Amino acid sequence: ITECSYGGTNRSCREFFTPLGMEFTFCDFRDVETVKKAMKPNTKLIFSEMPANPLLTLCDIEAISKLAQENGAYHVVDATFATPVICRPIDHGADMVIQSLTKYYEGHNMMTGGAVISRTPELAAKVKWIQNVHGNIMNPFAAFIILQTSKTMGLRVKQQSANAMAIATFLESHPKVTKVYYPGLASFPQKALADKYHRDGLHGGMLWFDIVGGSAASTKLMNEIQRPWSLCENLGATESIITACAVMTHANMLKEDRLKVGITDGFIRISVGIEEVEDLIRALSEALQRC
């Protein structure tokens, strides 16, 4: 499993599934050879995120899917950040894809939900059986709302991608920002991989940066930035959302694990919405000046 993942994924592996007898090996998915070395005789599943939350690291879906097939394992990809508008892992050999419908599909901070998309009817039937046993079904009203909001997802993701690119470019030259990661930037370390797997030149609405001043500065920025920015436990919405991950989304990770993968105390994750980008940059600039 990728060592850089949604905090809830990391926690469920460590605290819920491990006591049930399951074993997990966390490793860096940027290097296929590292994943290969982590494989064990009892490995049944390879779990990646594309892009990974919150560092936006990418993985070579085709190479990892081939590795899984050669070792009799499944390759599951959490592609929530990308959405099928940007990346479709099953087209590149993955066995299953996870999407948090709460995020870009719903896109309006109203409902929660999730989906598992399978390559074969046999895999889909297994998931359906587990769902039936556990009773994990969405209530009808939430399903209705998400069916409606998903109709505009393509339009929203295109605007969010354009806004994110403009904000990332602004942040790259800001004196209080030490690092900016966005797959659309020429400086992105895995730019070739982003261009290979991201459709139509779109790179999504998620980006992150490191701010001078560590935890105090990142928390101050998150708490004091003005509208149109919002502070909430979500991403992928029409509203732009700012998060200091060390004290919010990834606070349940062990600190040493968090720092090891690069989630520093000054780490800021932003989910860019569809507002006027000039307004977003102005509010962000003013907030950074006060930090």
- The string of DSSP codes covering 109-176 is SS---EEEEESSHHHHHHHHHHHHHHT----HHHHHHHHHHGGGHHHHHHHHHHHHHHHHHHHHT-TT
For the stretch 174-187, pLDDT in tens is 999 999 999 999 99
Residue 246 has pLDDT above 90, yes or no: no
Q: What is the chain's mean pLDDT, rounded?
A: 95
Cis peptide before 51 (omega within 30 of 0): yes
Q: Where residue 8 falls among pLDDT bands split at 50, 70, 90?
A: confident
pLDDT number for residue 247 = 85
Query: Which H or E run includes 221?
Result: helix 214-224
Does the pLDDT value for residue 256 go beyond 90? Answer: no
Tell me the pLDDT band of 124, cut-offs 50, 70 and 90.
very high
**How much is the pLDDT for 80?**
97
Q: What would the mean pLDDT of 255-263 be, rounded to a whole number?
A: 85
Q: Nearest Cα to 228, choosing from 176, 284, 267?
A: 284
Q: What is the pLDDT of residue 50?
A: 96
pLDDT at 271: 97
CA-to-CA distance for 171 and 153, rounded, in angstroms? 26
Q: Are 268 and 176 in contact (CB under 8 A)?
A: no
What confidence score (pLDDT) does residue 258 get? 83
* β pairing state of 267-271 and 206-211: antiparallel
Q: What is the mean pLDDT of residues 98-102?
A: 97
Q: What percent of the chain has pLDDT over 70?
A: 100
Q: What is the mean pLDDT of residues 43-64?
A: 96
pLDDT digit string, tens, across residues 10-37: 889 999 999 999 999 999 999 999 999 9
Distances (CA, A) of 102 to 81, 114, 185, 274: 11, 7, 27, 17
More confident: 156 or 8: 156
Residue with the bigger pLDDT between 210 and 137: it is: 210
Residue with tokens 């940007």: 86
Least confident window among 75-89, 159-173, 229-243: 229-243
CA pair distance 99, 106, nearest whole angstrom: 11
For residues 186-191, give the mean pLDDT: 97
